[in-house]
Amino acid sequence: MKVVVTSRQTIKPSSPTPQHLCQLKLSFLDQIQQPHFVPFIYFYASSNSGLNKATNDRRRSEKLKKSLSETLSWFYPLAGRVKDNLFFDCNDQGVPFFEAQVQSSLDHVVGQSNSDSQLNYLFPYPDFDDAGDLLLAVQLNFFDCGGMAIGLCTSHKIADALSIVMFMKFWATVSRGDHSNLVYPQFGSANIFPPTLNPNTNHHKHGVGTTKNKISAKSFVFSDSAICTLKAKYSPTTTTATTVTANNKTIHNNPTRVEALSTFIWCRYKAATRGEMACGEGIGYPVIQGVNLRTRLNPPLPNSYYGNLSRFAIAILAPPALEKGAIGEDRGSLVTQMRDGIRKVNIDYVRKLQEGGGGMGGLNSKNEEGGNKGGEKGGGGGDAVFTLVFSSIARFPLYKTDFGWGRPVWVTFGVVNLDNVVVFFPTKSGDGIEALICMNKGDLAKLETDKEFLSFVSNPKFPLLSSL
């Protein structure tokens, strides 16, 4: 796949940012985030407009640039730059906007393995590790078949995944001219999670999942029926089927779709790499899970709140539960342990976060660095303990991002240098889950040969995109 960049421009907001909005403080959660790009890419089939390809490409480009300029008037921090890890300089400097011609068809890309880094050339900055002071960049890719892809690089200093999806939905709505259905962003997370005045700019430079090793990535699709089977497989035993809370509320502990799939992938990953797992007595195995903080605040924040409003929860899976789960004695206990880790991200946890660097720095770094080292529990010591990091955007409306020529045929990530990370996406049909698994090439190859793992994986069915 040959990608030739044909144009480099800068898109600025359609209206200047008012003087009183020209500086936006970073929140504490922004300050401790790594300055790397989060690479989303949306693929679209040919629009069958009746126009020749060159004219159709030009019209799409003009429409996207105009609507992006309008969108940046509302998402004005993205057109600025981050300064000294203290504030966003909302100076309307603009967003780099590249255009490229791809000498290939969508059939050769969509739904195929993204295990090599060729997909990364559909982004404006293929090296995602260092965003610098830049907050957003876009590359518009036109394929020979008439299809296109929008590659979006957003700095993790300013946004979590939900915020990025919200931005894309807003941009698409503006492009369609459907202004009555716009949901406007709200900024100001620094008021909720006050920043520290002396930020350590190197804090979490090598955070959860980051690595300098060569990483492979591949997408695996799990159908609704396969997920239902896994939910039944990892349901707790009758003695642990319910939990009574302090408020005398009974919670049924049947696993969610994501919990069941996370447990399954973890068990098969452990089985596939069994010969390399640390096996010291009492060692626990960390599982790290992304958690949306908006719903855990009191009162909760609306999803329109833009910024870094998510954290990681860590669960240490005890070896007895792992072994029993592997042989089927009590698979449900694995789900329970994972869920207990998420429950720790409660109102008390959020309150400590709101104390900023002084009250939360130690707890936060201990929690996350513990995940990289095998956790503070379990007596792992210097043993090499493997960790899996799970993040789910499976309930996000990715496939409703319609710019005026139909919904995307595929949405995924670029290949990032994140080791042992699993990201759950929705499928286009909406009933399954696509798992993008990033890990070193050897471990991924072992997982791909695991018969039980493969027995639950479906082959995704895509239309012949070049004929659309």
How many helices (DSSP H) and strands (DSSP E) are in the chain?
A: 11, 17
Distances (CA, A) of 231 to 257, 280, 291, 335, 450: 7, 31, 21, 10, 20
Residue 138 sits in the same domain as residue 246: no
Cα separation of 236 and 242, whole Å?
9
Pairing of strands 95-103, 2-11: antiparallel
pLDDT at 34: 87
Residue 184 sits in the same domain as residue 307: no
Contact between 336 and 346 (Cβ < 8 Å): no
What's the number of CA atoms in the CB half-sphere (13 Å) around residue 352? 14
Query: pLDDT of 258-288, one tens digit each?
Result: 999 999 999 898 888 875 554 444 556 788 9
DSSP string, 312-357: EEEEEE-HHHHHHHHHTS-THHHHHHHHHHHHTSSHHHHHHHHTHH
Contacts of 90 (CB under 8 A, 6+ apart): 17, 21, 22, 23, 24, 76, 77, 79, 80
pLDDT band at 355 (very low <50, low <70, confident <90, very high): confident
What's the number of CA atoms in the CB half-sphere (13 Å) around residue 293? 23
Residue 42 sits in the same domain as residue 88: yes
Question: Does some domain include residue 41?
Answer: yes
Highest mean pLDDT of the ranges 40-49, 206-215, 334-343, 396-405: 396-405
Question: Does some domain include residue 201?
Answer: no
* Domain CATH for 42: 3.30.559.10
Question: Does some domain include residue 7?
Answer: yes
Residue 413 sits in the same domain as residue 283: yes
| pLDDT at residue 246 is higher than 60 | no
Number of domains, the chain: 2
DSSP string, 142-181: EETTS-EEEEEEEETTT--HHHHHHHHHHHHHHHHT-GGG
pLDDT at 115: 54
Residue 444 sits in the same domain as residue 301: yes
Distances (CA, A) of 240 to 80, 165, 255: 52, 37, 12
Distances (CA, A) of 408 to 150, 153, 431, 462: 10, 18, 16, 12
Residue 255 sits in the same domain as residue 168: no
Q: Which long-range contacts (CB under 8 A, 24 or more apart) does 426-429 make?
A: 426/393, 426/394, 426/395, 426/396, 426/398, 426/399, 427/221, 427/460, 428/399
Query: pLDDT of 80-103, one tens digit each?
Result: 999 999 999 999 999 999 999 999
| pLDDT at residue 356 is higher than 80 | no
Query: pLDDT of 373-396, one tens digit each?
Result: 333 333 333 444 568 899 999 999
In terms of residue numbers, what domain contains 142?
2-191
Residue 290 sits in the same domain as residue 255: yes
The secondary element (H helix, E strand) that includes residue 37 is strand 37-44
Question: 159, 191, 223: which is the final residue of a domain?
Answer: 191
Tell me the Ramachandran region of residue 420: left when phi exceeds 0, alpha when psi lies from -120 to 50, beta otherwise.
left
Question: Does some domain include residue 210?
Answer: no
Mean of per-residue pLDDT scores for the chain = 82
The 87-89 sheet, strands edge to edge: 23-25, 87-89, 81-83
Cα separation of 200 and 93, whole Å?
26
pLDDT at 322: 53
pLDDT at 284: 66
Cα separation of 465 and 296, whole Å?
42
| pLDDT at residue 313 is higher than 70 | yes
Q: Rounded mean pLDDT of 68-88?
A: 97
pLDDT at 248: 45
Question: Does some domain include residue 198?
Answer: no
- Cα angle for residues 14, 16, 22 (degrees, 5° grid): 135
Question: Does some domain include residue 204?
Answer: no
Question: Does some domain include residue 301?
Answer: yes
* pTM for the whole structure: 0.88
Residue 220 sits in the same domain as residue 185: no
290 token code pair:
């992304």
| pLDDT at residue 154 is higher than 90 | yes
Residue 146 sits in the same domain as residue 269: no
Residue 256 sits in the same domain as residue 402: yes
Question: Does some domain include residue 203?
Answer: no
60 token code pair:
């799409």
Residue 185 sits in the same domain as residue 235: no
Radius of gyration of the chain from its Cα atoms, rounded to whole angstroms: 22
pLDDT at 357: 47
Residue 222 sits in the same domain as residue 180: no
